Structures are given as structure tokens and as C-alpha cells.
Amino acid sequence: MEQLQLTFDEKWEIILACDRAYDDVFLTAVKTTKIYCRPSCRSRKPKKENVLFYVDKKEVEAAGYRACKRCQPDLNQTPQLSVVQSVKTFLIDSYKQKVVLDDIARHVGMSTFYLDRLFKQHTSVTPRSYLEKIRVDKAAHLIHTTDLSNLEICYEVGFQSPSHFYQAFRKGKLCSPGEYRKKAK
């Protein structure tokens, strides 16, 4: 990948804006604390004259800086991304059960509001929509591979009501479960 050429002032503006788009482009090091961060780090901003910019982790660590504990630039993924991944895993593992946003938030240890916003920011869907997609995909698989009735599949994949199952299935697969079954044969 070609290195993006940014001036010191442009980089400074990026860290003031906490712009995630530049997290893999450069790192910010603070001379006084000997800590380095991602450009998107929400920690208190240092004085401009105490800031240095580095291209990669090896270079900044060789200069004697340690990773910020808040934004964890030494990890390959951001802490937010690991939370999103944890939520996805939780939803996949518990799709058959009745799951509400409070359960998911409790699992990852954050507020429901922040979790919903963070998940949507990284996946473009809410946790509820993601869970619904998992259930519809599982239902489609069961339609293909079993002789279970649509009603049995509805409850098997975790839907609480047949009407919601039919509505979600039609939305996800653009046809009813019965039409999907006919196409599968």
C-alpha cells in the first residue's frame, strides 16, 4: 500500500477529530508520557509540541514508547472491533434462545445504548437485525436439509411467533418459507 503523505498539521487535526479512518496509517507518540496511541484514541489530547508521529508499531516501540492501554494500538484490531466480534459470537451461540439487548450488553459489559450504536457503526445493522439474519439463515438451512414443518423450524431457530418468523424470512430471503422450500427441491 502506498504511504499516504500527510503534513504534521493534517495529522494533528486528525487526532483532534479522533478519526478512525487513519488508525492504520500512522501512530501518535507523546514525548512527555512515552505512550503511543491510534489517531482515534479518545484519551486527553497532549500539547501539540509534545507530539511525534510514527508510521508503524515497530518504529515507535524502538523509539522507547509503550502502547496506550485505552486504544490498544499494539493489537491488530481496535478494542471496539473485538467487542463487535464478541457480540457476533454471542449471538451465533445463543440464537435459539430469547435474547434481548440487555443480555448482550451484560455479556460484553457496556450500556445498551453504546453497544447498539457501536455495533451499528461497525456492521451497519443493529444486534437485533443481525440476530434475525442468523435465525433466517438457519431456518433456510433447515428447510433445505430437513423435513421439519415451517412452524417447527420457526421455534427451532428461536423465533417467538410464527408471524414474526414469516415476516423476517420474507424480508431476508425475498420469499416465504413455503416458496423457499419449493425452490429447494
Residues of the chain with CATH 1.10.10.60: 77-185
Active site residue 68: yes
- The yes-or-no answer on residue 41 being catalytic is yes
* Catalytic choice (18, 71, 154, 175): 71
pLDDT in tens, 118-157: 999 888 889 999 999 999 999 999 998 899 999 999 999 9
Nearest to 50 by CA among 27, 31, 76, 72: 31
Q: Does 34 score more than 90 pLDDT?
A: yes
Of the listed 18, 41, 154, 175, which one is catalytic?
41
Under 8 Å CB-to-CB from 92, ≥6 apart: which residues? 134
Told to judge if 71 belongs to the known catalytic residues of this protein, a careful annotator would answer yes
Q: Say how far apart CA 49 and CA 30 lie, in whole Å.
A: 9
CATH no. of 77-185: 1.10.10.60
Fold for the domain defined by 8-67: DNA Methylphosphotriester Repair Domain (3.40.10)
With a threshold of 0.85, does the pTM exceed it? no
Strands, E assignment, 94-179: none
Angle at the Cα of 124 from the Cα atoms of 40 and 10, rounded to 5 degrees: 25
One of 18, 37, 154, 175 is an active-site residue; which one? Answer: 37
pLDDT of amino acid 3: 46
Query: Residue 1: what pLDDT?
Result: 35
Q: Which of 18, 68, 154, 175 is catalytic?
A: 68
